[in-house]
Structure 1
């Protein structure tokens, strides 16, 4: 009786073992399909997210252009020129510009027109904090002060910040 039971168990195990390679192949194929589906979904989500970010940046750029007259111009030698309009209430179309480039890990002002007395201090603060957005906002504020008859320094420049830490080129326009 024990021998018959052992024989039945052996036959059942043999039948199970004969089907295992096919089951294993089917499972491997299913895992591959699921991996492909997951990778596709991941790529789609990342692409959608990247496109959404790009669309948001384009929208913000258009808003800044419309409301602040801000325009970005990319030039040679990795130069980024920012052009502001709507700074001077008496001449809203007058353009105020500065151009920067990255030299190593620090920004360098290549051009500033009209020249701001506080540009060195603003640049030094930007290089210290690595907050380029604040630098752009502060430069615009300084242009507004200059257009309104102030000397362009105002409260934006501190004596400590303008102690020569800023880097500027002599090729200003």
Structure 2
């Protein structure tokens, strides 16, 4: 009991208790610090892993975007190249279009000229046909007159050809026929096809007929030539 009341012992005991308390407190604090540090490290590790995953995802997205941009850039370069080529071809294309337009205009003008020429040709053919019909009509009108005065018979043969038959040239044989065949050619001119018996002057008479267009005089001259030929033959 005396030892308990001793002051030194009391102080030693208090010091010992304080030491134990401090030690226990230090241990508790260490355990708490270790636990907090572990939790912090785990949280920091998880945070850093999250940041790393986010960065990796962002990097992949950036890489994909870069590849896309690179693809767009290449495509734009290709389109620019095509555009430059087409711009270079544009003058040739425009020149070709202008040439075709000019050729088209030339064809239209030629077609118009051909139409005008065809119209003129149709008008000319119509005029020639009318003139030919008028000539044939006149021939028919004078047919009876020639038959009566010149003993001339006119026959239509082989289309538009006319055969002229003179009689009463040989008084011993008045029915002997002296003939020639006449037609109107594509130029609307009188043309002698044949003559029986042949007359040496027929070519000259034909030219005179074409120049004067006087059929009555031509027929009278042909009859005179047939008479002269008969008389010459009879004398010989």
TM-score (norm 1): 0.49
* Greater radius of gyration (CA): 2
Higher relative contact order (CA 8 A, sep 6+): 1
- The structure that is strand-richer by fraction is 1
